[in-house]
Structure 1
Amino acid sequence: MAQAYSPGLTVTDSIVLRKERILPLKGKVLVKKGDKVKADDFVAETLLPGKVIPFNLANKLGVDPKFMKDYIKVKEGDILKKGMMMAETKGFFGMFKNIVKSPIEGEIESISNLTGQLLLREPKIPVQVKAFIDGIVVEVVKDEGVIIENKSAYVQGIFGLGGETNGEIKVIVDSNEEIVDLKNIDDSCKDKVIVCGAMVPLAAIHKAQQVGVAGIISGGIDDQDLKKLLGYN
């Protein structure tokens, strides 16, 4: 039976931990040096560019791109509302007009009178970074984030599944050689990060999900259980 283990990692009941919390792009830092923060506090935020959508306006109007400028009602940088009119042909005697409306909410990135194509950008995406640990802000990285320090119990893993999570650590085994017993995963584990000893079987993971455990730390997992959990090899 193939198994995944993580030897040589740190397990200690007391360590001074420093955690960098950095934005993917420059933005705004919400705390200052010396501030006390909780794990769920937001410490920095920024706006990521929205998705770019090519839109062939000349084709939608049914005109040659070089004539598109005679019908377009918007310009680069304009803010769009979904359904807002972007262009309109004159039609015949005021009839049979062709009106093209914006397919999205966002803004106009660029307009090409050579190709008749517009690049539309969807609204910016807000991104906020949490502290992730309780502690004190010991350093502020201007426009990027912070470094937080605390004194913690620390159990280190080599890889993880899922996104970031946090919670109180709860050890539910008596030894690091023990395989967790399902009966030890109960309602007292809800919102906790549980430490499961040498191995965590798939049944234990499923029960932890049912109980509402925030996270699991274990010395190993059977590779077949990992494949079943992920749904692929």
Structure 2
Amino acid sequence: MRVAVIGGTGLIGSQVVKILNAAGHEAVPHAQSTGVDVISGQGLDEAVAKADVVVNLTNSPTFDDASAAFFQTSMDNLVAAARKGGVGHFIILSIVGADQVPELDYYRAKVLQEDVLAAGPIPYSIVRATQFMEFVPAVLSWTTDGDTVRLPSTPIQPIASKDVADAVAEIAAGAPLNGIYKIAGPEIFPLDELGRITLSRKGDGRTVVTDPTAGMFAVVKGDVLTDMDAHLAPTRYADWLS
């Protein structure tokens, strides 16, 4: 099976390409560095030509209200190219709880991306994952002031990028779901406690202060960023830190 992985040189995409090729498929990575631009459309027709499956793992360069325009334009261009190329299965990676946090510009934009795909003419699958473990240091840096890190106690269920890539590759190798597949890490942590665990394990001297108004997840109410009904990935956070 031939798979065009758009965004195939990034954190998830590079792993998906490796997994699929190791399984005997022909997975080809495409990105700006290979001459493919999802906004201008440059190289898209050639990238998806003769592909059985398209996996779109591109991401908006910002998390603000400009992200909606990115996902609208990129999906319009990709769906058009995939339809022209006769692609039989189109996959995107989204976020657990995206449809439950309309206060977040980026989450609204991801729902828009899902809607464009679901309304299109191509059989599809949407993989929703919880927050990546690799994302935690960035969350800490956003709310750091000197030696203090301010974080809300929002529950999250972090997942290793390798487990996300395994799930995406598995879906890509199968039949279209025409629906959503959810995957999450095996443990739930309050975000402030996850920050303390991370800093302690890294020998980082910063102190975490619980602040319900801090960071992008301050607007999140309840446990919408977790989902124990999702397929649970195997990697625990302490093992990932190690």
**Shorter-chain-normalised TM-score: which range?**
under 0.3
Higher helix share: 2
Using the size of structure 2 for normalisation, the TM-score is 0.21
Q: Which structure has greater strand proportion?
A: 1
| Higher RCO (CA-CA < 8 Å; seq separation 6+) | 1
